[in-house]
Amino acid sequence: MLAGTTALGIAALGLAIAIWAGVGRPDIGRSAPNEGPRTPHLAEGAELPQRQRPPSSGPHYASRASYGVSITPVEPGNWIHAAEHGGVVILFKCGGPDECTAIADRLSSEVYEPARNGRFNERKLVITPYQDMNVPVMAVAWRRLLEMSEIDASQLLAFYDRYLDTGPENAQ
């Protein structure tokens, strides 16, 4: 009897871990290549060696981007660090301060505010302008990219839900 209960408990634990890790959930977007080692951290402002734009992994700065919505660009070396910690980054192109503010406000109300908290009871989402990409909007998680021709809040939230806390480092 005890052996059966123990086996059942182990199976339940294995199932819970698989669900937490996303096993069986469909991928969203596309896989991105590994852009190199995560450490040592680069000096703040140093050139990133990643070939892909936008980058989704690899060397990055020691300080992590603050979670939230920004109307001024956050450095890729900082938001890659957020992705390493299991955060998701939403990048958007904009033509000037007024347009950046309008897009950031829309993404704040449609995506940031409804997003759920992850580990450490934090909403692990960085939203920032970024010009060096071929599409107007892109979601980035550690080694995952979702390219979009326009803002689709339901797709962005689905990407966030799928890849939240899946980065290689369990940290805030």
Q: Which residues touch 80 (CB under 8 Å, ≥6 apart)?
A: 48, 55, 56, 57, 58, 60, 61
Does residue 11 form part of some domain? no
Domains in the chain, number: 1
Give the pLDDT of residue 130.
98
pLDDT of residue 16: 44
CB 28 within 8 A of CB 138: no
SS3 94: coil
Q: Predicted confidence band at 17 (pLDDT cuts at 50, 70, 90)?
A: very low
- Whether 163 has a pLDDT exceeding 90, the answer reads yes
Identify whether 125 is part of a domain: yes
Show Cβ contacts of residue 162 under 8 Å, excluding neighbours closer than 6 positions: 22, 25, 26, 27, 28
Q: Is there a domain that residue 43 lies in?
A: yes
The answer to whether residue 81 scores a pLDDT higher than 80 is yes
Q: Decide if pLDDT at 171 tops 50.
A: yes
State how far the Cα of 10 lies from the Cα of 108, in Å rounded to an integer: 41
Query: Among positive and negative, which fits the CA dihedral 135, 35, 79, 140?
Result: positive
The answer to whether residue 118 is domain-embedded is yes
Segment 97-148, tens digit of pLDDT: 999 999 999 999 999 999 999 999 999 999 999 999 999 999 999 999 999 9
pLDDT given at position 91: 98
Task: Tell me whether residue 20 is in a domain.
Answer: no
Tell me how long the chain is: 172
Q: Is residue 51 part of a domain?
A: yes
Give a yes or no: residue 81 inside a domain: yes
Range of the domain at 88: 30-163
Cβ atoms within 10 A of the Cβ of 38, count? 18
Spatial contact of 93 and 133, defined as CB atoms under 8 Å apart: yes
Would 101 be classed as within a structural domain? yes
